[in-house]
Amino acid sequence: MRRRTLARTAVAACALSLLAALAPAASAQGGSHGDRHGKPAYKRVGYFTQWGVYGRDFQVQDIDTSGQAAKLTHINYAFGNVSAEGTCFTGNVPGEADAWADYARPLVAENSVDGVADTAEQPLAGNFNQLRELKAKHPGLKVLISLGGWTWSTHFSDAARSPASRKAFVSSCIDLYIKGNLPADGARGGRGAAAGLFDGVDLDWEWPGSAGDTDTVYRPEDKKNFTALVHEFRTQLDAYGKSLRKRKHYELTAFVPTAPAKIDAGFEVPEIMRDFDFVNLQGYDFHVSGERNTAQQSALRAARGDFSVDRTVRDWLRRGAPARKLVVGMPFYGQGWTGVTGGGDGLNQPATGPAPATWAAGYEDYKALKKLADSGTYTIHRDRKGSHAWLFDGTTLWTFDDPQVLSAKTTYIRHRDLGGAMFWSLDGDTSDGELMAAVDRGLNRRH
């Protein structure tokens, strides 16, 4: 995924990281969490970024007003961090944790899901309280805490290294997020302040057994340790769920890579899939703007030897993953190059570097790319066989997914009987949730 961490510079770093890494469904209303025909509903998993509430000004309320919330089954909150001591933690530590955004920041009425301003006395405010209000408005919607990301996977290997360290790590995460025992921050936080908010844990360790960010530790034994860590999470989550007066199943998921070398270095697929409810497949950043030539970043199908959604799905199936536990990742952003030469439609041509963009060079939200497409300056090109699209104005190229591409991908999901779709990230969509609506229509379409 990305730590897609600290709003701007992390986006570019993550993009390079992922290059290295390289049923009738629910009711027509969308977002229902069952199926009229008794079959499991397709998952619709959207990542909400902690830092997006600042410069991007994408609030939890926007998930509701855009129509996204009514169509989602899961929201993954990105991200929770792992300390050097091997525990889940939060606080106000620049670059490491942001308790202010998580649960201390007061919201005024017009930015609140329920239209009521936060008070100085309430123990839970910020994003966590807004997510709680969103769940109350949309019963059945689940919220998971996503741990790690590109920047914050630094200490995963250490935390997973021994039975004792795994037990302590998992226990700390359950205490902080599932039991909701937040550090006190004035009136905010305290024991049980966030109890009942999170419905499970999403593991975004990038990557067990192979290189990730520059300071991320990795070891050959990460592969077996990851299996043991997943099982420890499953064991402790189940035990806590059974201890409640009203028993609850807490979900356990992960973000997993597309590159076969990354899969084989870090994932004992049959073993971990027994403990995961589902996994979110990397379905984007197959090529990124840091490369010298333009290329597709999220094609459904590609030439032999190139990355694609179909190849990723097949690689996970071949290694023993059940189809219904594979959720296909889809980008709500594009990768872009400038200084493109060579003529033609611009694809697979030399470029001088990443294209200028709003938040980080070479990375632009779909909502901004839609405006470029509508401006008349760019021409949209499509590879019908590969099901991918790009914009080109003769100098600058952006590769991205639009509703037409997503329609083809949802057809693929239905025909392959996969688990559903995941989106990075919700703030890249239009204000009326155009991409989310396209996926919802596609997954609800009959065979």
Give the residue numbers marked as catalytic: 206
**422 touches 45 (CB < 8 A):** yes
CB 75 within 8 A of CB 141: yes
Q: How far apart are CA 335 and CA 345, in angstroms?
A: 16
Per the document, the length of the chain is 447
- Rounded to 5 degrees, what are φ and ψ at 180? 75, 25
Residues 6+ apart with CB under 8 A from 304: none
| Bridge partners for 97 per DSSP | 93
Partners of 338 in beta bridges: 353
Q: Which residue in 197, 173, 171 sits closest to 103, CA to CA?
A: 197
Whether residue 323 contacts residue 317, with contact meaning beta carbons closer than 8 Å, is answered with yes
DSSP 324: G
How is 146-191 classified by DSSP, letter by letter?
Answer: EEETTGGGTTHHHHTSSHHHHHHHHHHHIIIIIS--EEEETTEEET
